[in-house]
Structure 1
Amino acid sequence: MKAIKGRGAVSNQTSTRFNLAQHESDGDWLDDREQVDGTPPPVSTVVTELHPKTIVSFNKSPDVPFDRSINAYNGCEHGCIYCFARPSHAYHDLSPGLDFETRLFAKPDAARLLRETLARPGYRPAPIAMGTNTDPYQPIEARYRVTREVLEVCLETRHPVTIVTKSDRVLADLDLLRQLAERDLVSVGISVTSLDPRLSRLLEPRAAAPAKRLAALGRLVEAGVPAHAMIAPVIPAITDGDLEGLVAACAERGVRRASWIMVRLPNEVAPLFREWLETHFPERAGKVMAIIREMRGGRDNDPRFGERFRPSSAWADTLRARFKIAVRRHGMESVERVDLDCSQFRRPSPAGQLDLF
Structure 2
Amino acid sequence: MTVNASAVPAPQGPSGGSGRIRRQGARSGRRPDSHNGMAAMLLTPTGIILLALVIVPILFLIFTSFTDFNQRSLFTGEFNVAGVKQYATVLGDSTFWMALLRTFLFTAALVVGSMLIGMAVAQMMTKLGTVMRYLVTFVLIFAWAMPNVASSVVWNWLFQPGYGVINWLLTRLRIFGDLSNLAWSNTTTLAFVCIWMLVVWQAVPYIAITLYAATMQLDPSSLEAAQLDGAGPIRTYWQIVVPLISPSIMVIGMLSIIWDFNVFNQIWLVSQGGPSGSTSTIGVFTYKKAFINFDIAQGAAISVITVIILLALTSVYVRNLLKSGEDL
| Fold similarity call, TM over 0.5 | no
Between Structure 1 and Structure 2, the one with more strand by share is 1
Under TM normalisation by the shorter chain, which class is it? under 0.3
The structure richer in helix per residue is 2
Which TM-score applies when normalising by structure 2?
Answer: 0.24
Q: Which has the larger radius of gyration?
A: 2
Ranked by relative contact order (alpha carbons within 8 Å, sequence separation 6 or more), the top structure is: 2
TM-score w.r.t. length of structure 1: 0.23
